[in-house]
Amino acid sequence: MSAIETEILSLSEIETLAYDALLAVGTTAQNARPLAIATAATEAEGIASHGLAYIPVYCEHVTCGKVDGAAVPLLTRPRPGVIVADAATGFAHSAIAAGFAELMPLARSQGIAALAVRNSYNCGVLGYHTRQLAAEGLLGLGFTNAPASIAPVGGTGKVVGTNPFSIAAPDGKGGIALLIDQSASVIAKSEIMKHNREGKPIPEGWGLGPDGQPTTDAAVALQGSMAPSGGYKGVGVALLVEVMAAAMTGASLGVDASPFSGTAGGPPKTGQFFIAIDPEVTSSGDFAARIQALVGEMHAQDGVRTPGDARSAARKRAEAEGVAVNAATLAKIRALL
């Protein structure tokens, strides 16, 4: 098997390439910039399936109208501690960025605050957003729903999406002590999509065919359903996220949302929900010491990594050495310019 051709790009080059491609298909600068920044950060953390590989999809969706590249998020404050952002079928990243600008100071002043995002779109890597809250000294909780792709245990009909949740904890020194970002499925759907694009089989246990039986064929899995992580427990996590990100925000349920891939169905109108908490308010001022002690217990064991360690290490390497990007992906993006 021949090696996959790659090209080394700096993080700034990745951001610029993503930004220029989004502008080229009619996305406004205000919407393109947050998404381009997130794309570079995602590539830096080694999550290629959500990085530049997604830019052609984003651009296709702007062109076909699945997402409004010129949308302007509308923010309201229905209660003192709650912000609602209507993404107006635009990109989630710009709606979340606008919401976070109000959420962070609100959480500091009140101790806790929430942001509900509706009529939204794929928000990419959820942990990218909760990390921003933790970097500002806040405990960040995030939930995002997705088009239905998981069937309940014992059934074959898809009811809920891969529906990730994330929690990011600050270390008290301007960094991140812990970052959990996981979906309700064994693997993110984008990974199966990536295998399908590359003509590769998927590992056993990732997906089920339309008949509910396990399959290693990526195309068959995309026609069927994602395997929930931990069986019924994964379905429970997906339902929790569905309540938080769809029911609590007024966004579309996963069964009603159009796919994040392809051009059919119009805007998905999914949702996100974030909770930001000032940990010093509830912990009598010793949160940082407690979280460092917790993380320290794990790091004291040889070979143990805490959630978020791998991403942090990848980011440091990328900042110093750049990122190896698939040449075929780059060719698709450059063809848009």
Domain ranges of the chain: 1-64+307-337, 71-178+232-300, 186-227
Residue 204 is among the residues annotated as catalytic for this protein? no
Residue 49 is among the residues annotated as catalytic for this protein? yes
Sign for the pseudo-dihedral over CA of 318, 320, 326, 328: positive
Q: Which of 15, 43, 45, 49 is catalytic?
A: 49
Q: What is each CA distance from 58 to 50, 53, 188, 209, 226, in whole angstroms? A: 11, 10, 18, 27, 22
Q: Superfamily for 186-227?
A: Hypothetical oxidoreductase yiak; domain 3 (3.30.60.50)
CA trace torsion 281, 286, 289, 295 (10° rounding)? -50
CA distance linking residue 240 with residue 77, whole number of Å: 24
**Structure token pair of residue 254:** 């996963």
Q: What's the pLDDT score for residue 1? A: 43
**pLDDT of 164-199, one tens digit each?**
999 999 999 999 999 999 999 888 787 888 888 888
CA distance linking residue 226 with residue 237, whole number of Å: 14
Q: Which of 59-68, 156-165, 241-250, 266-275 has the lowest mean pLDDT?
A: 156-165
Give the confidence band of 299 by pLDDT, cuts at 50, 70, 90.
very high
The beta strands (E) that lie in 137-256 are given as: 139-144, 165-170, 176-182, 207-208, 214-215, 225-226
Q: What is the mean pLDDT of residues 256-283?
A: 95
Residue 191 is among the residues annotated as catalytic for this protein? yes
- Class of residue 236 by CB neighbours under 10 A (exposed 0-12, middle 13-18, buried 19+): middle
**pLDDT of 199-210, one tens digit each?**
899 998 898 888
Answer whether 1-64+307-337 and 186-227 agree in fold: no
CA distance linking residue 160 with residue 150, whole number of Å: 5
Phi and psi at 254, nearest 5°, equal: -55, -35
CA distance linking residue 147 with residue 242, whole number of Å: 10
Fold of the 1-64+307-337 domain? Hypothetical Oxidoreductase Yiak; Chain: A, domain 1 (1.10.1530)
Q: Which of 50, 61, 93, 129 is catalytic?
A: 50
- Class of residue 161 by CB neighbours under 10 A (exposed 0-12, middle 13-18, buried 19+): buried
Q: Residue 158: which of 149, 166, 145 has the closest Cα?
A: 149
Q: Which of 191, 195, 261, 280 is catalytic?
A: 191
Q: Which of 31-40, 122-131, 150-159, 257-266 has the lowest mean pLDDT?
A: 150-159
71-178+232-300 CATH pick, 3.30.1370.60, 3.90.1580.10, 3.40.47.10, 3.40.50.450: 3.30.1370.60
